[in-house]
Amino acid sequence: MTMNFNFVRGHMGGNLIVLLRGDQMPVGRELETAVQLLAPTHLHGHEAGILYSTGEPGQIEAKIAEPSLPCFISACGGFTQVLGAALIETDFGALFDVDQHASNVEIMLYTDGGPTNLSIDTYAGKSLRIRTNMDSFVKECYDRGIGTSIHKGLEVMQAGKFLVVNAERFKAAYPQIDLDKWDSTTRKILSDIQHEFQDKTGEIEPNVVVYDWQPQHGGHVRVVFPHYVDTDFFEPSCGTGSVALGVAMLAWHELEGLIPDREGKLVLKLESGGGRELGGPEFTALEMYIADGLVKSASFSHSRVEITSVGEARL
């Protein structure tokens, strides 16, 4: 029997997101169905957000599907940014009683990782800036563990479920790597490091962020997210990865050159969106409130969030 699914597809700096209606998903087969729809032969996306009405205006429950394992994941920053745009710019807004004409729209999103607030600035039917509160994910990072370890001779940082790799340290330990071309040698080395990291930490999801302090567009650092090179799973931008990086850099004492404002807010600008290469012409603005050597609160926005297609898919 053919199944029809209304969808919205968009991206945050190249992080491809598909939004689906929960009331159209076959019960008990939600993950399987979302993964099928994410395939390159169908809608081609990195993650899918399955949306459910709570019956309250602007309050949405969501399950986030990730296809590489596959599994449901606790959080996805790119999903929240694309959702914010979709609620203003497509018919999905009416499904959840969103006032698309307000200059600012507040959304409460409930995921497996906890409640997440979205603040959406709008103008003339378009989303201008979407700010995602990531406090639940910050808590998850600290709960799962923050700390350094050495894998295959490289010192790395664990920030929750993320493997955080400083590119300068990586190149010093392995001069033969190429983080622009990502040749087979580079992929094999990172894959070995990642597998050892997962074996020792017990983390199952593949989540990797690589960064350096060599900005080219006025930011602070360059980033790329080679989550699983074994299957060529790269994300040019990643909201949860950006937050994990901020938490890791604080623990690594790498943020001491940045000065917080009077309220304790520190803004880290990440250059991203360049494909598989470090950095890119877009920015993830990560805002963190820091006290007692810890990130107490964090939120982010991205400079390029776009809806690319709206339609109906069939399986």
Name the one residue in this structure whose structure tokens are 């070995």: 192
What does the pLDDT read at residue 263?
81
Chain-wide mean pLDDT for the chain? Answer: 96
Give the sign of the dihedral formed by CA 117, CA 120, CA 125, CA 128: negative
Amino acid 1: pLDDT: 84
pLDDT for res 178? 97
Is the pTM above the cut of 0.75? yes
Compute the Cα dihedral for 256, 260, 265, 269 and give only its sign: negative
Q: SS3 for 254? A: coil
Does residue 10 surpass a pLDDT of 90?
A: yes
pLDDT in tens, 151-201: 999 999 999 999 999 999 999 999 999 999 999 999 999 999 999 999 999
User: In the chain, what percentage of residues exceed pLDDT 90?
Assistant: 95
Residue 259 has a pLDDT of: 82
For domain 139-302, give the fold.
Diaminopimelate Epimerase; Chain A, domain 1 (3.10.310)
In the predicted structure, residue 264 carries a pLDDT above the cut 90: no
Helix, strand, coil share (%) of the chain residues, nearest 5: 25, 40, 35
Average pLDDT over residues 206-229: 97
The DSSP call for residue 27 is: T
Tokens standing for 291? 């006290």
Residue extents of the structural domains in the chain:
4-132+304-314, 139-302
Cα 313 vs. chain centroid, distance in angstroms? 24
Tell me the fold of 4-132+304-314: Diaminopimelate Epimerase; Chain A, domain 1 (3.10.310)
Fold agreement (4-132+304-314, 139-302): yes
